[in-house]
Amino acid sequence: MRQWSDFTSTPDGAGGQTVSLSGPLLVSSIGRIDRGLRGIDGPVSAIDLSQVSAIDTAGAWIAWRTAHLHGAKIVGASAEARRLIAAVGAEGKDVEVEPERLPTVQRVFDSIGDYVVGAGHGVIAFLGFVGAMLIGIGSLIRHPGRFRIKALVRQMELVGVSALGIIGLMSFLVGIVIAQQGAVQLKQFGAEIYTINLTGRLSFRELGVLMTAIMVAGRSGSAFAAQIGTMKLTEEVDAMRTIGVSPVEALVIPRVLACTFMMILLGFYASLCAILGGATISTLTLEIPFFTFLTRIQEVVPLHDLWVGLIKAPVFGAIVALAGCYQGMQVQGNSEEVGLRTTIAVVQAIFAVIVLDAFFAVFFSEVGWG
Amino acid sequence: MSNPDFPIVVENVCNAFGEHVIHEDLSLKVERGEILGVVGGSGTGKSVLMRSIIGLQVPEAGRIEVLGDEITAARDDDDIDIRSRWGVLFQGGALFSTLTVSENVEVPLKEFYPELGDDLRGEIARFKVKLSGLPPEAAAKYPSELSGGMRKRAGLARALALDPELLFLDEPTAGLDPIGAAAFDQLILELQETLGLTVFLITHDLDTLYEICDRVAVLADKRVIAVDTIPNLLKLDHPWIQEYFNGPRGRAAQAAQNRARAAHKAALAKAMDKRANTGD
């Protein structure tokens, strides 16, 4: 059972009052008397601590604060209490200083302003980052010996090879869904055979690459941001600079190149997996034999559909990698920032990929690759 | 049962990471109200010992008793209910990076004593920040905005938030400039005297050892080979102790302390003379 401290106040006959504190005056026991002590009004001439059984700095603080506020003197304090009160009093002078807080309305405008200015700086910083990367690539072309082939291969493995399983499965399932749902609609016109056109063209042109880009943004874009961000926090990036290793050359370029190149392969691979999924479901439910499905794909999918996918893939890959590396390099301060920047990297990458995809769709139909 | 004279009792503790044995049959008693310095070469398990005492690392064998509670008998974290009676300062400060300094100090207050009002909690936090030798503006800053030395002081403020009886310090002066380190030593000494703390202090800093430690425990050969005052330790002829205290740095620290003592004595003598001359 916890023992709480208590206080009573008695008039001292001269217009003032004596506040007597009793019980243990500890951080664990003063919680209930604080409000009461703050509420005392009228002159207080003395604070009596003779009934106090134990005291710590928090207890000394409220005794000192009350005395200080009313200009009262402290009586009956034990030697320990006197020592603590002296220590607290010496530090207590400007403790009341609260950091300034703006009024709510002003804070709203404040944060909107911060956001706008931040966005403006962000654009400039991103351009600077892309510029630094281009300079890096330029100097690598002049000094090919500095190129980090090992880092590139390692990143290719992480971005590409390790993703084969999940991307294959995802695309296979998407292929099944398209073929199955398409068939249900096309059956109404008796045109189930066009399921093959639908699955084949959609996989190569759109879904293979788009779904892969989203998956790579989630898997690798976030990893880039978190890795580089943590390296920034632990000053590894600064250490690199002092040794003369350019972080752009060592960290950014291998990741961007790996991601750009592997996206081409992964996008193509994803399209094939989607077609296999479509073929499987067609065999099972539409009575289109598996190999007939594949042969028909070759006849109905024009070659330029493949090119559409293959042209989009490296662009998406570069965007995902750039967003990840850029956000990673922007990390400073604390660990919360790493999480925040990682989220931003993924969101921005997926958003930019979808916007560009819409742009590409219009562009390719305009040039006659519809 | 609780032993009032020894807030920390470590008996026959063994710690090992896989094959690698850190402590074997280690025993140590810390006396109430003392500042115990713990020294030992790198890798002798000073931090592991501290982690074992505060329940972060479960020893393979042995018994550890802190303030009468058997830490080694605790099955999980909830079993250790003496946490409000100790404060720990980790090497890097270990401040919560998403909270301001004053919010950091408020965390233990909020955790253990939710009935404290917001105003009072804020006041306690701010005077603890000042008590730790930080300027009042520092209370509203985030740890990333502070220098290394200020972060340690902020960590100390958090460790002191609940007026603990026991204070654990892991290399408090490592990485501080000599002036900052000396100031930190003085701060610990003052706080120990004012608040009546028992301090368990891991350090490599010989100046700290000479300046503020009442006794020094030496970790070597997987156990505590000696616990004593520095002059007594110097009489032992263990090679590591001799090398440690009588190496160039050890002698420099000793000389510095002798100089300080001599200066103090001279000042005292001067004052006495003055008094004698004026006839008081």
Instruction: Return the closest-CA partner of residue B85 out of B99, B102, B68, B105.
Output: B68
Which stretches does DSSP call E strand in A110-232? none
Per-residue model confidence as pLDDT tens digits over A184-216: 999 999 888 899 999 999 999 999 999 999 999
Rounded Cα gap, residues B158 and B162, in angstroms: 8
Cβ-Cβ contacts under 8 Å, A92 against chain B: 127, 130
- Looking at per-residue confidence, does A113 or B212 come out higher? A113
Asked whether the predicted pLDDT for residue B156 surpasses 50, the reply is yes
Q: How far apart are the first and last CA of chain A?
A: 80
- Give the per-residue pLDDT at B78: 60
In A, what residues contact B, Cβ < 8 A? 26-28, 30-32, 34-35, 38, 56-58, 61-62, 65, 80, 83-84, 87-88, 91-92, 94-99, 332-336
**Could you say which of A32, A56, A58 has the minimum Cβ distance to residue B115?**
A32
Single pTM value for the model: 0.67
Per-residue model confidence as pLDDT tens digits over B120-136: 888 888 888 888 888 88
Tokens of A237: 């990036």
Cβ-contact B197, B165 below 8 angstroms? yes
Rounded Cα gap, residues A158 and A319, in angstroms: 17
- Give the per-residue pLDDT at A201: 93
* φ, ψ dihedrals at B241, nearest 5°: -60, -45
* Residue among B100, B142, B163, B193 with most chain A CBs within 10 A, to mutate: B163
Asked whether the predicted pLDDT for residue A68 surpasses 60, the reply is yes
Taking CB atoms and an 8 Å limit, are B123 and A334 in contact across chains? no
Asked whether the predicted pLDDT for residue B40 surpasses 60, the reply is yes
Mode of pairing for the β-strands spanning B61-66 and B69-70? antiparallel
Asked whether the predicted pLDDT for residue A128 surpasses 90, the reply is yes
- Give the per-residue pLDDT at B277: 67
Instruction: Return the closest-CA partner of residue A349 out of A171, A207, A219, A154.
Output: A219
- Å between A129 CA and nearest CA of chain B: 24
Ranges A127-131, B248-252, B276-280, most confident: A127-131
- Give the per-residue pLDDT at B45: 84
Residue recorded with tokens 């291998």: A254
C-alpha to C-alpha distances, B91 to A123, B94, B170, B208, nearest whole angstrom: 39, 7, 5, 15
Q: How far apart are the first and last CA of chain B?
A: 54
Within 8 A by CB and 6+ apart from B46, the residues are: B38, B39, B40, B202, B219
- Give the per-residue pLDDT at A356: 95
- Residues B239-257 have a mean pLDDT of 81
Within 8 A by CB and 6+ apart from A287, the residues are: none
Sign of the Cα pseudo-torsion (B255, B260, B261, B267, in order): positive
- Listed in sequence order, the DSSP H helices in A203-252 are 208-216, 222-233, 236-243, 247
Asked whether the predicted pLDDT for residue A292 surpasses 80, the reply is yes
Chain B nearest-CA residue for A339: B98
Cβ-Cβ contacts under 8 Å, A63 against chain B: none
Angle between helices A79-92 and B178-195 (to 10 degrees): 140
Asked whether the predicted pLDDT for residue A359 surpasses 80, the reply is yes
Cβ-Cβ contacts under 8 Å, B163 against chain A: 26-27, 56-58
Q: What is the band of B75 on the pLDDT scale with cuts at 50, 70, 90?
A: low
- Give the per-residue pLDDT at A161: 95
C-alpha to C-alpha distances, A100 to B97, B117, B121, B137, B140, nearest whole angstrom: 21, 20, 18, 11, 10
**Could you say which of A34, A58, A97 has the minimum Cβ distance to residue B136?**
A97
Cβ under 8 Å to A: B residues 195-214: 195-196
- Å between A144 CA and nearest CA of chain B: 39
- Give the per-residue pLDDT at B1: 42
Cβ-contact B123, B203 below 8 angstroms? no
- Looking at per-residue confidence, does A67 or A173 come out higher? A173
Per-residue model confidence as pLDDT tens digits over B93-124: 788 888 888 888 888 888 888 888 888 888 88
Cβ-contact A95, A68 below 8 angstroms? no
Whole-number average pLDDT of chain B:
82
- Looking at per-residue confidence, does A359 or B121 come out higher? A359
- Give the per-residue pLDDT at A163: 95
Taking CB atoms and an 8 Å limit, are B163 and A335 in contact across chains? no
* Residue among A93, A94, A95 with most chain B CBs within 10 A, to mutate: A95
- Give the per-residue pLDDT at A162: 95
DSSP bridge partners of B40: B219
- Give the per-residue pLDDT at A102: 75
Ranges A56-60, A221-225, B140-144, most confident: A221-225
Widest distance between CA atoms in chain B: 72
